[in-house]
Amino acid sequence: MWLLAEKALTTPVITSPPDPGVIHHPWVLAWIVLTMLTSTIVTWLVFRWRGARLKRRQNSPKQLLRALCRLHHLSWFDRQLISSCARKLKISDPARFFLEADLWRELLAAESSPVQRLRLTKLQEKLLSEPKPPVSPPA
């Protein structure tokens, strides 16, 4: 038994050098870090772009006009009429027609076509008139 232990201590142990693995190579580690950094920057840029796009969409005069027309149950033709009238009066925000009666007076005074004037008058009444109270059933 002693002999076996003595022999084990005297025989040189041949070991291979440790496998450095993938992470210990400097180029592979650099590529991993570079990929992570690039993906982080791209993700950050996408979120900034989307945030700016959503903010721009919320503050758009076209979106405001579309929302107001939808709430007032106006047709596509009515919306186009309001947009063309705003261009005619050189108004940057056509949604002002929903608030300012003076714009309607100015527009009706400038309109020469009686048919167009009638359409504009009906649209003005629809937008600026007071809502009718609901009719209650007789008791």
Least confident of 21-35, 65-79, 80-94, 115-129: 21-35
Closest residue by Cα to residue 124 from 65, 67, 72, 70: 72
Amino acid at 113: S
The pLDDT of residue 126 is: 86
Which residue in this structure is represented by tokens 């993938």?
A: 22
Look at 131 and 111; give whichever has higher pLDDT: 111
CB atoms within 10 A of CB 117: 15
Confidence of residue 76 (pLDDT cuts 50, 70, 90): very high
The pLDDT of residue 37 is: 96
Judge contact between 56 and 50, C-beta under 8 A: no
Average pLDDT of the chain?
81
Q: How far apart (Å, rounded) are the C-alpha atoms in residues 96 and 44?
A: 37
Confidence of residue 44 (pLDDT cuts 50, 70, 90): very high
66 alpha-carbon distance from chain centroid: 16
Question: Does the pLDDT at position 137 exceed 80?
Answer: no
Helices (H) and strands (E) in the chain, counts: 6, 0
For residues 27-46, average pLDDT? 91
